[in-house]
Amino acid sequence: MEEEAEEDENLPPGEEQGMRDSLLGGTPEGVAAPTEAHGAESPEEEVRARPPEGGFGWVVVLAATWCSGSIFGIQNSFGILYVILQEEMGVTKDEPMDFKTAWVGSLAMGMIFFCSPVVSIFTDRLGCRKTSSGGAAVAFIGLLSSSFTNSLGVRYFTYGILFGCGSSFAFQPSLVILGHYFKKRLGLANGIVAGGGCVFTMCLPFILMTLGKAIGLASTFQVLSALMFIQIFLSLTFKPLLPPPIDYNKEKENVPGRIKMHQCLVHTRKYFNMQVFRKKTYRIWVCGIATTVLGYFVPYIHLMKFVNQRFKESTQEWVLLVCIGAASGIGRLASGKIGDCIPGLKKVYLQVASFLLLGILSMMLPLCKVFTSVIVVCLFLGLSDGFLISMMSPIAFELVGPMQASQAIGYVLGLMAIPMTAGPPIAGLLRDYNGSYDLAFYLAGVPPLVGAIILLFVPLIHERDLRKAQQLEADKEKTQDSVVNGELLPGNPVTDASV
């Protein structure tokens, strides 16, 4: 409690009120921070009391849907680009390149999560509009520049780093801005964005397969860059309605008696608040999530080539990614409804079930003998993916509360980046040495199973801590009652008689 009090003292005047909506972020261009006024509602309270709940908000939903769909549609369809990339490089059996090629898509997906904590700061500082537009511009440059090179090493930077980082900066504000326009219909708005994004994942595999054969990989990258170019202008609709969570004009003022180094440390501690890691249940949850995603992205990258090798007569492997995208959309919508019916941290059990299913299904892929069985596995893979993603935010709110949920989500996404990036290259390395994906998929199913076991301890420890807190509260009330009744006070007849 003393540490929290010290942090509150370091907050600039008027910031305490703004921190209540730190999850929504976004600095409106040309809008100053709200000032305290007695007897009048602040601009923040007025906006939250009557958000638009529609109108121009639906244009924002459309722009957010395009952003989510184009980014993750491209990322989840990388398995097709992976095969085309190896074909244009002239990869042969004598020179396996699965390990090196997998890094291209793996880096891009990893950077989306790795940049999440930093994107939160930029969103608070610059606002949703500038952050998202700038990120879309960087992603556009990354995809466009990938079309002008044949070097795998250069594409690590252009596609993996530039497109990945740009996607992170474009995507995260698209979710934040929805809270500025919707309150009662926020669930519906998020559902439209999630479901619409899955439509892109369903359509892009077929489009990429057709374009790759017709115009080649370089021109395909140029077509994909057009999606991000459009997003640059769509992001201009992300006009924040809420005031900034921090008064940056006051923040720049010199505080008497405070040296610049100390002031810098205060701001750094404010932006990178590590208090969420003090909760044991949050630490366990983060550990379980980070363990699981080591094998999460493996099927998205290697599934296409695995099917080409196992079922050489099949020419419709792109259907598998369509199945994953469609089932993932259904899973996200269904898990939202189911999660609302599950109280408290028992929502973790829903995530545990999805992890178990994800691990078992990854191990089942090498056992599939006919193409139809792979389709069935991919459908359930998509469902587990939908349940995994949609439960992240509700569980974070239950673990740390609304005031720290934004930081909690940012940290867990950042910690997911390293194992998620490393998983597909490791699977490619196993394929290079063994000549088969069987061992790679078997091992990819192990981390989700281990992560599910770790997550089982989260609600158990939470319940134990609640019982301890209730027992301490009960003991405290008994002590207070005994003091109020005078049983322990000097001059009590009972006490005097006993003496």
Verify that 238 and 91 share a domain, yes or no: yes
Are residues 288 and 158 part of one domain?
no
303 plus 173 within the same structural domain: no
Do 346 and 436 fall within a single domain?
Answer: yes
The two three-digit tokens of residue 290, written as one number: 């980070």
Candidates 166, 130, 125; CA nearest to 145 is 166
Integer angstrom CA distances of residue 470 from 280, 282, 325, 464: 18, 20, 45, 10
Residue 219 domain flag = yes
- Looking at residue 284, its amino acid is I
Q: Does some domain include residue 479?
A: no
**What are the backbone angles phi and psi of residue 469, rounded to the nearest 5°?**
-65, -40
Q: How far apart are CA 357 and CA 360, in angstroms?
A: 5
* Inside any domain, residue 295: yes
pTM of the predicted protein model? 0.69
What one-character-per-residue DSSP string does 71-136 give? HHHHHHTHHHHHHHHHHHHT--TTS--HHHHHHHHHHHHHHHHHTHHHHHHHHHHH-HHHHHHHHH
- What is d(CA 101, CA 115) in angstroms, rounded to the nearest whole number? 22
In the block, tokens 């201009």 appear at: 236
CA atoms within 13 A on the CB side of 7: 15
One domain for residues 180 and 293: no
H/E element, 69: helix 56-76
Could you tell me if 367 and 312 lie in one domain? Answer: yes
Looking at the fold, whether 93 and 206 belong to one and the same domain comes out as yes
Clarify whether residues 244 and 281 are in a common domain: no
CATH for 387: 1.20.1250.20
Give the Cα separation of 205 and 317 in Å (integer): 9
Inside any domain, residue 154: yes
* Side-chain half-sphere CA neighbours of 333 within 13 A: 15
Within this chain, do residues 53 and 193 fall inside the same structural domain, yes or no?
yes
Domain boundary among 232, 248, 264: 248
Q: Are residues 100 and 220 in the same domain?
A: yes
Q: Establish if 302 belongs to a structural domain.
A: yes
Q: What is the pLDDT of residue 239?
A: 87
Q: Which of 60, 56, 48 is nearest to 18 (CA)?
A: 48
The DSSP letter of residue 183 is: S
Alpha-helix runs per DSSP H in 147-259: 152-155, 164-176, 178-181, 186-234, 248-251
Give the count of domains, the chain.
2
Q: Do both 280 and 354 map to the same domain?
A: yes
Same domain flag for 301 and 172:
no
- Residue 275: the pLDDT is 76
Residue 39 in domain: no
Closest CA to 482 of 497, 494, 496, 467: 494
7: in domain = no
- Structural domain including 114 reads 48-248
Q: What is the pLDDT along the chain (499 residues), one digit of tens a residue?
A: 344 444 444 444 444 444 344 434 444 443 444 444 444 445 545 544 466 677 788 899 899 989 988 998 888 888 888 888 888 776 555 556 777 888 888 888 888 888 887 887 788 788 889 999 999 999 999 999 999 988 888 999 999 999 999 999 998 888 778 877 877 776 677 777 877 777 887 888 888 888 888 888 889 999 999 999 999 999 999 888 776 555 555 554 444 545 666 666 666 666 666 777 888 888 999 999 989 888 888 888 888 888 888 877 666 777 888 888 888 888 877 776 777 677 778 888 888 988 999 999 989 988 888 888 888 998 898 888 888 777 777 787 778 775 666 677 778 888 888 888 888 888 888 888 888 888 889 998 999 999 999 999 888 888 888 888 888 887 777 776 655 555 544 555 544 444 4
| Residue in 325, 391, 385 with CA at minimum distance from that of residue 69 | 325
The C-alpha atoms of residue 146 and residue 296 are separated, in whole angstroms, by: 26
Domain boundary among 231, 248, 265: 248
**Residue 32 domain-assigned?**
no
Tokens standing for residue 254: 């010199």
